[in-house]
Amino acid sequence: MAIQQLDPLGTLDGRPISVIAGIAILAFSSIMSWLNMDEIAYPLLTSLALLAVVFASLVLVLGTSPLRAPFTGAMHAIGVGSSLIAFALSSASLGDSAAIITASWGPLVVGTTCMALAPYRPVRELVGVGIVASIFTGFIALVRSAESTTDASPMIVILFSITPVLTMSLGGAAFARSLAQSHQHWESRAIYGARRQRERQHVSVARSVQQDRVTILNRDVVPLFADLSRRGIVSPGDRAKAAEYSASLRDLMVTEVNRSWLESVVASSFGALDGFSDGDSANDRRVRDPHRLAGAMTDHQRTALRAAVLAVATGDELDRGSVWLAIEKTPLGAMIIVHATVTSSESSWRSSLAPYFAVLRVVFTGLQVSYHSPSLTVRFTYDTP
């Protein structure tokens, strides 16, 4: 699993490195082409090579944007492939007498591209792409050295070309593997600690629930029994009142037993599951999950959604009373629809919610944000068993 999926916020914080790398490879290739202008025999090929570097730079700068997360394997292939094409074109543009070792900037561009994309793809893919890129780089260098009149040994040219690609790509993969292992180790310790904490709190929670039941009994049932004991007569009104209390307690216990984790989070964040009304009494609950699909979310999805709900409940960009969530069944899984009324400027709520949207884009699929002032609707999907 990629670092972007394991730690979306950490990857977002490290994105400036990818942006700087994208700008750097374009500046480096342009400067090197200008410095070796005398050795360029085919300027058109050099221009095409720089255009290919532009494509690789766009992948690093725009493709890694949180608005386009998650970073796909196709984008990875486009970025590395564009840098390889740039190397091939730049090598072909040199004259026969050019010093390929000093005039060729392609291997550094390819290696930098591979390394900058390390946080966004799985380790196995990074290693595989790095090895393939090194093979293509060595082949391009071999072809170029065969056509050049330079005195350098072909093996020296090949080693000089593949070394930056191989070391930077494998170094990026090793770095990504180290971060992934550290994150998974931390996550396992956190899960173990949370489990121990739940075990310690189980007794106190059970006692608290029991106390809540006793409070309800003391408030409603005990006075009824005391009145019956004092009067010694059971009237039809007493029977109706007892039936009402019994049904109320039974409904309360059934509701709490059937409450999903999402309903619990929303109730804890907003203070209650109801209290919202859009004019339809059938839709006066904040969480509408008729098919009970909330339980199908993964741990990462639950964590991301829980953080987003808490941010909305504690922030002042959205009207708390207008927020509701609906989970609908789709042919491929489930879709979550979140609706709210915006009470702040567009720039304010977008900047405040941008980190949460970035995380949701990674752990869920197909996130769409629709804003028609003052109404905000967010949709995203996930797979279900």
Q: State how far the Cα of 343 lies from the Cα of 320, in Å rounded to an integer.
A: 10
Q: Are residues 97 and 164 in the same domain?
A: yes
Phi-psi region of 104 (alpha: psi -120 to 50; beta: other; left: phi over 0): beta
CA terminus-to-terminus distance, the chain: 20
Q: Are residues 24 and 51 in the same domain?
A: yes
Residue with tokens 């984008």: 75
Q: What is the pLDDT of residue 126?
A: 93
Q: State how far the Cα of 162 lies from the Cα of 134, in Å rounded to an integer.
A: 5
Question: Does residue 249 sit within a domain?
Answer: yes
Question: Does residue 195 sit within a domain?
Answer: no
- Burial class (CB within 10 angstroms; exposed 0-12, middle 13-18, buried 19+) of 315: middle
Question: Does residue 376 sit within a domain?
Answer: yes
Q: Are residues 265 and 253 in the same domain?
A: no
CA distances for 119 relative to 59, 60, 134, angstroms: 14, 12, 20
Q: What is the pLDDT of residue 198?
A: 60
Q: Are residues 171 and 79 in the same domain?
A: yes
- Any idea what the CATH number is for the domain that residue 311 is in? 3.30.565
Question: Does residue 101 sit within a domain?
Answer: yes
Helix (H, G, I), strand (E, B) or coil at 51: helix
CA geometry: angle 333, 338, 344, nearest 5 deg: 155
Question: Does residue 193 sit within a domain?
Answer: no
Q: What is the pLDDT of residue 19?
A: 93
67: containing domain: 3-188
Q: Are residues 211 and 343 in the same domain?
A: no
Q: State how far the Cα of 120 lies from the Cα of 70, in Å rounded to an integer.
A: 8
Q: What is the pLDDT of residue 201?
A: 53
Q: Where is the domain boundary, 241, 258, 275? A: 258
Q: Tell me 291's DSSP state.
A: T
Q: Are residues 147 and 270 in the same domain?
A: no
Q: What is the pLDDT of residue 143?
A: 83
Q: What is the pLDDT of residue 14?
A: 82
Q: Are residues 25 and 161 in the same domain?
A: yes
Domain count, the chain: 3
Q: Where is the domain boundary, 138, 158, 188? A: 188
Instruction: Estimate to the nearest angstrom the gap between the alpha carbon of 206 and the chain centroid.
Output: 36
Task: Average pLDDT across each block of 10 residues of the chain; the chain has 385 residues. List them in order.
Answer: 76 86 94 85 90 95 82 92 93 69 79 93 93 92 74 79 92 89 77 67 57 69 75 76 73 61 80 53 69 86 88 86 89 91 87 85 87 90 87
Residue with tokens 């009237």: 235
Q: Are residues 53 and 147 in the same domain?
A: yes
Nearest CA among 132, 150, 155 for reference residue 91 = 150
Q: State how far the Cα of 15 lies from the Cα of 67, in Å rounded to an integer.
A: 12
Q: Tell me 335's DSSP state.
A: E
Q: What is the pLDDT of residue 167?
A: 93
Question: Does residue 194 sit within a domain?
Answer: no
> What count of other Cβ atoms lies within 10 Å of the Cβ of residue 117?
28
Q: Where is the domain boundary, 134, 154, 188? A: 188
Sheet of strand 333-341: strand arrangement: 287-288, 324-330, 333-341, 375-382, 365-372
- Burial class (CB within 10 angstroms; exposed 0-12, middle 13-18, buried 19+) of 3: buried
DSSP string for 166-197:
HHHHHHHHHHHHHHHHHHHHHHHHHHHHHHHH
Q: Are residues 103 and 147 in the same domain?
A: yes
Contacts of residue 345, defined as CB under 8 A and 6 or more positions apart, other chains included, come to none
Q: Are residues 56 and 150 in the same domain?
A: yes
Q: Are residues 87 and 152 in the same domain?
A: yes
Cβ(29)–Cβ(50) below 8 Å? yes
Q: What is the pLDDT of residue 277?
A: 46
Cβ(263)–Cβ(309) below 8 Å? no
Question: Does residue 165 sit within a domain?
Answer: yes
Nearest CA among 259, 339, 353, 356 for reference residue 305 = 356
Question: Does residue 196 sit within a domain?
Answer: no
- Burial class (CB within 10 angstroms; exposed 0-12, middle 13-18, buried 19+) of 343: middle
Q: State how far the Cα of 153 lies from the Cα of 150, in Å rounded to an integer.
A: 8
Q: Are residues 147 and 224 in the same domain?
A: no
Cβ(194)–Cβ(137) below 8 Å? no
Structure tokens at 367: 């996130």
H helix or E strand, kind and range, residue 369 = strand 365-372
Instruction: Estimate to the nearest angstrom the gap between the alpha carbon of 189 and the chain centroid.
Output: 22
- Burial class (CB within 10 angstroms; exposed 0-12, middle 13-18, buried 19+) of 224: middle
Q: Tell me 287's DSSP state.
A: E
